[in-house]
């Protein structure tokens, strides 16, 4: 950081940087960020280090340019659901899904809650694309409220597949990878013991104790975790003036 001091950068802006870095080195793939925060991150990546990322309007159109959130400047092709499945099965996609529950191996639930899942206590979205995504290509997660309700010992139904569901070398799972989980508290991966969740960086101002208190299982690497990097002055300008001038990021992660 040169022109902006750290205390001017909001937590939401650190989350944008962390979401952008999900796509670091991705090249020409289909980026599918499913939430506003992950979308701002993907668009920042496209305007900085990843110009070849394919992005959409979140419905069925590929975007030629990189518009502000909620605006459609142009579109350069169609990507209706049947074509989404073609790309998905080719593996040239990285989705960032949300999650209602995630366990220490990365099993994810966004479908329903309750011990008897045939009679759920609360029905959410259903499994949606989670099983097919997580077995075919890179699947990361964005969680705006890191809490013990989301990060649970076990999930009520597995939608996105975790690392304890298969043996290393099982060919059916050769494309399964969960590169990152980004939350309002930090960045995590699955390089902990036995492929469990590990802290990579915590956002400035977040303590290891805070993460431990808000997670329903032990998080590896908390003592050694680094600090999420500052945005550059140019990245801050792009976030604030180009991609998210209306401040949607602050609705997901209030200052
Ligand atoms: C709970 C809990 C909990 C929540 N325990 N109760 C309850 C108990 C509680 C809360 C209330 C709200 C490719 C592809 C696809 C497609 C293609 C194929 C996908 C075809 C497209 C269509 C399809 C999936 C994309 C996402 C989801 C993004 C989010 C949300 C959220 C919910 C899911 C986290 N632990 N937790 N409750 N979709 N969205 O009563 O009330 O619930 O709780 O890829 O689809 O089919 O396939 O967040 O919920 O990735 O991330 O935001 O609404 O904020 O407020 O927590 O207690 O709070 O009052 P939310 P929340 P209360 S890919």
pLDDT tens column, 200-232: 999 999 999 999 999 999 999 999 999 999 999
- The pLDDT tens digits of the residues spanning 43-68 come to 999 999 999 999 999 899 999 999 99
pLDDT at 1: 44
pLDDT tens, position by position, 96-126: 999 999 999 999 999 999 999 999 999 998 9
In this prediction, residue 211 carries a pLDDT of 98
Hey, which residues does 196 pair with through a beta bridge? 192
Q: Are 222 and 211 in contact (CB under 8 A)?
A: yes
Q: How far is the CA of 140 from the centre of ligand 1 (A)?
A: 15
CA–CA gap between residue 12 and residue 10 (Å, rounded) = 5
Phi, psi of 32 (to 5 degrees): -120, 80
pLDDT given for residue 2 in this prediction: 42
Q: Is 81 in the pocket of ligand 1 (CB under 6 A)?
A: yes
Give the pLDDT band (50/70/90) at residue 168.
confident
Residue 133 Cβ < 6 Å to ligand 1: yes
In the DSSP assignment, the letter for residue 239 is I
CA distance 217 to 8: 33
Mutate to test the pocket of ligand 1, among 19, 34, 137 (most ligand atoms within 8 A of CB): 34
pTM for this model (two decimals): 0.96
CA of 153 to the centre of ligand 1 (A): 18
Question: DSSP 3-state assignment of 43?
Answer: helix
C-alpha 195/C-alpha 184 separation (Å) is 22
Nearest CA to ligand 1 atom 37: 100
The two beta strands, 77-78 and 93-97, are unpaired
**Ligand 1 binding pocket includes 95 (Cβ within 6 Å):** yes
Q: What is the pLDDT of residue 7?
A: 53
Six token digits for residue 81? 């659901």
At 10-51, the pLDDT tens digits run 999 999 999 999 999 999 999 999 999 999 999 999 999 999
User: Is the Cβ atom of 113 under 6 angstroms away from ligand 1?
Assistant: yes
β-pair partners for 160: 108
Closest ligand 1 atom, residue 85 Cα: 18
Say what the pLDDT of residue 255 is.
82
* Mean pLDDT across 143-167: 97
Q: Torsion over CA of 223, 160, 146 and 44, rounded to 10 degrees?
A: 90
Q: Does the Cβ of 149 fall within 6 Å of ligand 1?
A: yes
């Amino acid at each position: 950081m040169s022109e902006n001091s750290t205390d001017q950068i909001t937590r939401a802006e650190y989350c944008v940087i962390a979401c952008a870095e999900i796509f670091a080195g991705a090249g020409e793939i289909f980026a599918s960020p499913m939430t506003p925060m992950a979308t701002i991150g993907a668009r920042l990546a496209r305007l900085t280090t990843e110009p070849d990322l394919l992005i959409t309007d979140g419905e069925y159109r590929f975007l030629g340019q990189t518009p502000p959130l909620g605006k459609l400047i142009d579109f350069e092709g169609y990507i209706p659901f049947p074509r989404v499945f073609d790309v998905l099965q080719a593996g040239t996609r990285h989705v960032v899904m949300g999650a209602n529950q995630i366990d220490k191996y990365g099993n994810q639930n966004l479908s329903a809650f309750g011990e008897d899942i045939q009679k759920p206590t609360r029905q959410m979205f259903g499994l949606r694309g989670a099983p097919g995504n997580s077995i075919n290509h890179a699947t990361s997660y964005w969680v705006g409220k890191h809490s013990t309700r989301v990060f649970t010992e076990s999930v009520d139904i597995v939608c996105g597949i975790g690392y304890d569901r298969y043996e290393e070398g099982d060919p059916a799972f050769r494309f399964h990878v969960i590169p990152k989980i980004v939350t309002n508290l930090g960045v995590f991966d699955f390089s902990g013991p036995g492929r469990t969740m590990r802290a990579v960086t915590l956002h400035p101002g977040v303590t290891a104790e805070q993460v431990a208190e808000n997670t329903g299982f032990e998080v590896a690497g908390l003592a050694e975790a680094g600090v999420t990097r500052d945005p550059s002055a140019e990245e801050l300008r792009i976030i604030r003036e180009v991609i998210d001038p209306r401040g949607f990021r602050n609705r997901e992660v209030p200052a």
